[in-house]
Amino acid sequence: AQTVTQSQPEMSVQEAETVTLSCTYDTSENNYYLFWYKQPPSRQMILVIRQEAYKQQNATENRFSVNFQKAAKSFSLKISDSQLGDTAMYFCAFMKHQGTYKYIFGTGTRLKVLA
């Protein structure tokens, strides 16, 4: 069975600074997908970034980038130039490449950006 671990329940960062959120996972699969979702106070789950395990290159989306270490089963999210609107709960999620396309979520990291 797959598991996803987010070891940082809460983090804070000063506006305009950089912060890194950690995620590790356990799987025997070789092909899979990894995701970071953002959940602001509105509760709406928003996809931040996606990584395909068979791609070596780390995914980037504007100020958001990942450090994907397949051998170490690590998938961290870096937020550059943090903004007040980045304050949210962040969830890491795993999905097998084939099957019923179910997500396995981590327990989340609550990020607060300080003015």
Partner 1 sequence: NAGVTQTPKFRVLKTGQSMTLLCAQDMNHEYMYWYRQDPGMGLRLIHYSVGEGTTAKGEVPDGYNVSRLKKQNFLLGLESAAPSQTSVYFCASSYGRAKNIQYFGAGTRLSVL
User: CB-wise, 48 or 113, nearer to partner 1?
Assistant: 48
User: CB-wise, 86 or 94, nearer to partner 1?
Assistant: 94
Minimal CA–CA distance to 23: which of 3, 38, 43, 39? Answer: 3
Least Å distance, CB 27 to partner 1, is 15
Least Å distance, CB 16 to partner 1, is 29
Structure token pair of residue 11: 């983090």
Question: CA–CA separation, 114 vs 67, rounded Å?
Answer: 24
* Chain centroid offset of residue 53 CA: 14
Binding site for partner 1 (CB under 8 A): 4, 9, 33, 35, 42-45, 47, 50, 91, 95, 100-103, 105-108
> Which residues, other chains included, contact 40 with Cβ-Cβ below 8 Å and sequence gap of 6+?
46, 85, 87, 88, 89
Least Å distance, CB 10 to partner 1, is 11
Least Å distance, CB 68 to partner 1, is 15
User: CB-wise, 93 or 113, nearer to partner 1?
Assistant: 93
User: CB-wise, 42 or 62, nearer to partner 1?
Assistant: 42
Question: CA–CA separation, 71 vs 49, rounded Å?
Answer: 20
